Amino acid sequence: MLERYVKKILSARVYDVASVTPLSLLPGLSQRLGGKVLAKREDLQPVFSFKLRGSYNRMAGLDEEARARGVVTASAGNHAQGVALAARSLGVRAHIVMGKNTPSIKISAVRNLGAHIILHGDTYNDAAEHARELESRQALTYVHPFDDPDVIAGQGTIGMELLNQHTRPLDAVFVPVGGGGLIAGIAAYVKYLRPDVKVIGVEAEGSACLRAALDAGKRVVLPYESLDLFADGVSVAQVGEETFKIAKRHVDDVITVNTDEICAAIKDIYDDARCIAEPAGALSVAGLKKYRQLGQRFGTAIAILSGANVNFDRLRHISERAELGEQRERILGVTIPEKPGSFRQFCKALGKRNVTEFNYRFAGGKDAHIYVGVQTSAASDGAELVQSLRSQGYAVEDMTDNETAKLHVRHMVGGRTHDACPELLYRFEFPERPGALSRFLNGLEGRWNITLFHYRNHGAAWGRVLVGFEGVAADRDLLGKKLAAIGYRYWEETSNPAYHMFLK
């Protein structure tokens, strides 16, 4: 299998449009991790992503009749731009199906490349089904984003380049994983020529379809409600059939990372290369750092910086979470006496640590709850801080990993429901498109009184929303049926300690 793919990679037609991207040293990260870290700069491609390679290689192999009919695909991101640019270069008509909640910046980018855009459904699955219908109805060629030998070979040219560029000893290559096209292509080439080099995949925790497949010994479909939407470029429910055949035999390991670790990696890349990677593009660096944290050492490692198509609006959210991902900040909910001098005494208990955030509102009770961010030097320092405060008599709730606290509560401290009003609290992800709120309210049919509503835009296809409903536990089943019918992803947060300390 590998020999066949190596031949396809060596003959791949990608350089009509793609560039040979450089390997860049990340000096600060290298010094911190105790090994040489190089980034393969696929963010420097014409569409700011590696996806152009596979798309062009697939389409360049079409015969004249297929080119005349045109191509179709489903994508809201980098693959769409790759297909659009390849189609323009080859003189082929491209139809791109995108979800209705696709951010306008991505729609504009694809339209500017000359593709015909079709907005359909709210999810990738909706768009993909419609694209397949168009393929059959109009005899178009479907350009798969990852599960196609020619696409895999196109992506594999990255492996060919990096081995040509780095002829010295190399310990590992870290590769972002969505559907598996990139890691399959790189593994095929690298393992054939340099079997001693480890190929390590990196996935977002909420969309780790390759890790799940390797654990199960077969491809599995992740439930839609669990899919990660932050690293949208790798938000795939099932690894490809062809890509899994290669990965299960030639990928050495797969590491999963969370949102905060991805944000910290974006900051690391910016500090060293002055490049703002997209979340999926920074996965490899996040995985490389975690690999080192797990006690693994390396002399030289290469991280595939796969893309930089990030909405500017998302940078605020990324910046907020980067310190948490590096474990340089601890978010705590602390109970202190509500009396003069308590805040001063609490600051004394913190010692010389820097307070990064402090939220509090007078509640008129015996005790006060404060939402506080504290700068720490490492994970162990944060744990020592919590233990120190507890030993001094403070009730401490560590909220560093509490999504509701970090996304919503920190912006709402001080607002409280009336004691006589029973409340159920839910966290939602709304599609970012006109009519989303109306659909939500209409789905409730006027049955529920909304007691709290907080929305934050993160420049992504989905908005994060916190909603309170007047109701008691007995109302939960009926409300759950209404919410399920609306179809937005949600999590109940009624028992969340951040809610009880600051909002209830």
Catalytically annotated residues: 51, 306
Nearest to 66 by CA among 102, 92, 27: 92
Q: How many residues does the chain have?
A: 504
Task: Give strand pairing partners of 370.
Answer: 334
What letter would DSSP give residue 410? G
- Main-chain dihedrals φ then ψ at residue 206, nearest 5 degrees: -85, 0
Chain mean position to CA 393: 39
318 backbone φψ class: left, alpha, beta (φ>0; ψ -120 to 50): alpha
Q: Which residue has the tokens 């609306």?
A: 486
Look at residue 387 and give its three-state secondary structure.
helix
CA distances in angstroms from 294 to 33, 96, 255, 311, 460, listed in the order given: 12, 41, 10, 32, 31
Report residue 489 as tokens. 């992803």
Q: Are 178 and 207 in contact (CB under 8 A)?
A: yes
| Separation CA 85–CA 26 (nearest Å) | 30
| CA 476 to each of CA 28, 302, 494: distance values in angstroms, whole numbers, following the listed order | 51, 50, 11
- Judge contact between 35 and 298, C-beta under 8 A: yes
Coil vs helix vs strand at 211:
helix
Of 241, 266, 249, nearest in space to 176 by CA: 266
Give the list of residues 6+ apart from residue 131 with CB closer than 8 angstroms, or none.
Answer: 72, 73, 74, 95, 97, 142
Q: Calculate the CA dihedral of residues 25, 28, 30, 32 and round it to 10 degrees.
A: -170
Q: What is the DSSP string of 428-476?
A: EEEESSTTHHHHHHHHHTT-S-EEEEEEE--SSSEEEEEEEEE--GGGH
Q: For the packed helices 149-165 and 241-250, what is the interaxial angle rounded to 10 degrees?
A: 40
